[in-house]
Structure 1
Amino acid sequence: MTQHPRASASDAPGGLSRRGLLGLVAGAGAAGAAIGAGATAAITAAAPARGDGTVHPFFGAHQAGITTPVQDHLQFAAFDMAAGTGRDDLVTLLQDWSYAASRMTRGLDVSATGAVGGSPEAPPDDTGEALGLPASSLTITFGFGPTLFERDGEDPFGLAAHRPPALERLPAFLGDDLDPASGDGDLCVQACADDPQVAFHAIRNLTRIAFGRARLRWSQLGFGRTSRTVADQATPRNLFGFKDGTANILADDESALREHVWVPSGDGPSWLAGGSYLVVRRIAMLIETWDRVRLAEQNRIVGRDKGEGAPLSGGDEFSAPEFATGGIDAASHVSLAHPDHNGGTRILRRGYNYVDGNNDLGRLDAGLFFLSYQRSPDRFVALQRSLSTDLMNEYLRHTGSALFAIPPGASEGSFVGAGLF
């Protein structure tokens, strides 16, 4: 596709746009606001990483933060484009975000002047809470929601013709108790790191950079990963105390990734080839109710042994469940979610636990912030509908929901989503 004029290499290379710099100043003066920073297409990756933290390259065939070894902490945010903005605003925002992300994932400030290198008479370009911290395995992943392509019958960014047919709001599911203020969005940013302050710093500064062009719609902190993406990671536990993500797709299983995660050429618009679809579900766990369930019943509901994580049909954690033996309840979570009962459907999970204090009844507001990547949203929809009779549903409430198209990775000298323009 032809490159949009505002995305051309004729812009000043390797930095923030004029509007972006002005936005940083404006954002610093508005509590909780985001700042504008237009990075151009000529983004470089020459600066070294700061500190001794693990660095995951921002540029590549696929965006980092999907098959990357799952980090310990998450900050997720969804944004809506501001009223009156247009295509140029969206392009420069994605350029700015890509430039800043390419620096922060290397442990650097969002710009060369950073938190302390600029004029003492002007707000700094970087908020500074990550000064002295290493990269901490930070990954920043960007996605596009359905409303970016069409909202209320309008096409403010000239993208309606390039909308993937599968990119629609997720349908209603049994157990939904959705809060409209905690779902959807034009854009999403997933920041994962092994240091929660590094992940927070990323979202905070991307929000500042967006000032005047996009506003934060909702966000979520997550801790304690509930999945693994590489074999040498131990299987974590969710807040019900069970091992979670035992059978997740792993990063080195290229065949499974091609079949279940990456969007192939010809399966949607060309700009999405090599990308994926991200499903986001905020799932409240009724902790206090679950805690009064006897252990044998908890095992039956899940279909696994709570201590070892083995299927109730026998073996160890990684043994394949044997459903014909009768040891696993047909309505257990393991049974209903298993690929054998869903036409071979598999998804790549990157979920996190969350605790957001307590509710008005004095109960914990806690649960699972579910994130899954799949080559088609239809696969998640079919899987979720198969869980309609899951014994675990008595202890869960789905309170947030969103779907985003995740473009492929950016090449060096470009920006995330460039193929769309």
Structure 2
Amino acid sequence: MCPQESRGGGGLSRRGLFTAAGAGGIGLAAGAAGAFAAGRERSSPVNDVVPLYGAHQAGITTEAQDHMHTAAFDLTASTRQSVISLLRDWTEAAEAMTAGRDVGATGASGGAYDAPPEDTGEAQDLHAAHLTITFGFGRTLFEKDGEDRYGVRSRLPAALIDLPLFSGDALEPNRTGGDLMVQACADDPQVAVHAVRNLSRIAFGRARVRWSQLGFGRTASTSTGQVTPRNLFGFKDGTANIMAQDRDLLDKHVWVGGSPAAEAWLDGGTYAVMRRIRMHVETWDRTTLREQELVVGRTKRKGAPLSGGDEFTAPDFSLPGRNGPLIDAGSHLALAHPDHNGGVHMLRRGYNYADGTDDLGRFDAGQFFVAYLVDPRSHYVPMQSAMAKNDLMAEYLRHTGSGLFAVPPGIQAGEYIGQPLFS
């Protein structure tokens, strides 16, 4: 795991401050109190800070947190310099929030009474909660309606395509696309919401929210130390995911490198595919266990492939059953497996969602699918095209939102997100 994407760092919490004082650590407590007053540090236990800076952006191979708030923005800025100013302001705010500090010099309650606070305040007294904020650029940042909006059209990556409309898609415009993407993940849902809310506040006059999505309960593991989670169909999800420890697979299937000169600003970055997938849970809940396992290709209890073994046993797609292979060729496992996709892997980092009910009383619930990959043309489009047509699970799903974003590499102190693109 890259240092900047591992959980670590942190500082003295308020509770720790007073404990130190009570134990005779008066000097330590006084020094920490001064640092808190100067930096407006929120309560942060040791090891709950993920550094913003590093070779790659945090929030990709970082051990997946349990809560997510993602938003896409449409730029209203009229000039290139205004976009750069926004990215500078966002970077400064992201550094503060991921470190467990309020945004701005005066934070949520230290400024003038006759001016709006510099921080919205709902994360006061909360931990940094392993907050990560990951940024991405949509195709329309580079070109929209044939216009070179901000002088970067010549640097549009060839792989940043308009995703095709897949069979069965029912995409809603207000859940699709966007010039900029922000994904905040944290152990505390309020910390994640606080991050996106503050970035939206900072963007006023330069960008506005196009869509946003809350997520809970990760649907994949990104570290070998994590247990494979379950999705809203009750099955383990992401068993074959790329892990942070898989350096060779990350270099081959996730991180962009060796780009032509016009696209070199993205080297060290990646692409993020985001799909809002509504799951017809009411129909699924009336489906027999036998049918559910046939559709998925795995057992519901242990997550083992139907060909036998345990969760991590390699599936045997040729092993015969009574009526053909034990693992159906149209099962989700078979169609998504690297063996049937030219050896292609993706780093999945999605979340469950539940957004109330529709006018028929059905749950609007499902998965906010997120995958990081080196090239969507080879790593996502062929697989999704096949699954949309042949996946037995397709009748239980409806894709209602979609986005593809170029995710710039990480930065060092003093830089801003996406700086190589505008340099």
* TM-score of the two chains, using structure 1 as the length reference: 0.88
CA distance in 2, matches of 1:125, 1:337: 46
The answer to whether the 8 Å contact 2:40/2:102 transfers is no
Change (3 A) 1:413 1:317: same
In structure 2, the partner of 1:89 is 82
Structure 1 position 257 matched with structure 2 position 250: yes
CA distance in 2, matches of 1:102, 1:49: 13
Tell me the CA shift for residue 48 of structure 1: 6.7
CA distance in 1, matches of 2:344, 2:245: 18
* TM-score of the two chains, using structure 2 as the length reference: 0.87
Q: Which protein has the larger Cα radius of gyration, Structure 1 or Structure 2?
A: 2
SS at match of 1:220: strand
CA distance in 2, matches of 1:343, 1:160: 32
2:402 partner amino acid: S
CA distance in 2, matches of 1:106, 1:256: 30
CA distance in 1, matches of 2:307, 2:391: 18
User: 1:186 is matched with which residue: 175, 179, 191?
Assistant: 179
In structure 1, the partner of 2:373 is 374
User: 1:317 is matched with which residue: 311, 314, 331?
Assistant: 311
Change (3 A) 1:50 1:414: farther
2:267 partner amino acid: A
The answer to whether the 8 Å contact 1:283/1:396 transfers is yes
CA distance in 1, matches of 2:40, 2:285: 50
Deviations 1:34-60 (CA, angstroms, capped at 9, x unpaired): xxxxxxxxxxxx997742161111011
CA distance in 1, matches of 2:40, 2:329: 55
Tell me the CA shift for residue 181 of structure 1: 0.9
Structure 1 position 140 matched with structure 2 position 133: yes
CA distance in 1, matches of 2:172, 2:259: 35
In structure 1, the partner of 2:286 is 292
CA distance in 2, matches of 1:420, 1:259: 23
In structure 1, the partner of 2:332 is 333
In structure 2, the partner of 1:383 is 383
Deviations 1:160-215 (CA, angstroms, capped at 9, x unpaired): 00100111211011120000111100000000000000000000000000000000
Structure 1 position 412 matched with structure 2 position 405: no
The answer to whether the 8 Å contact 1:74/1:221 transfers is yes
Percent identity (aligned):
60
1:177 partner amino acid: A
User: 1:60 is matched with which residue: 54, 57, 82?
Assistant: 54
CA distance in 2, matches of 1:201, 1:49: 13
Structure 1: state its 5+ residue gaps: 1-45
1:190 partner amino acid: Q
Structure 1 position 114 matched with structure 2 position 114: no
Structure 1 position 269 matched with structure 2 position 274: no
The answer to whether the 8 Å contact 2:93/2:199 transfers is yes
2:399 partner amino acid: H
Deviations 1:229-278 (CA, angstroms, capped at 9, x unpaired): 00111110000000001110000110000010000122671100000000
CA distance in 1, matches of 2:192, 2:57: 16
Moved more, 189-198 or 166-175: 166-175
1:1-400 matches, within 5 Å, as 50-52=43-45, 54-82=48-76, 85-266=78-259, 269-325=263-319, 326-378=325-377, 379-387=379-387, 388-400=389-401
The answer to whether the 8 Å contact 2:40/2:107 transfers is no
The answer to whether the 8 Å contact 2:42/2:126 transfers is no
The answer to whether the 8 Å contact 1:345/1:383 transfers is no
SS at match of 1:61: coil
2:117 partner amino acid: P
CA distance in 1, matches of 2:59, 2:198: 18
Deviations 1:343-381 (CA, angstroms, capped at 9, x unpaired): 001100000000000011110000000000000011100
* Cα RMSD after superposing both structures: 1.2
2:297 partner amino acid: G
The answer to whether the 8 Å contact 1:50/1:106 transfers is no
Structure 2: state its 5+ residue gaps: 1-38, 320-324
Tell me the CA shift for residue 327 of structure 1: 1.5
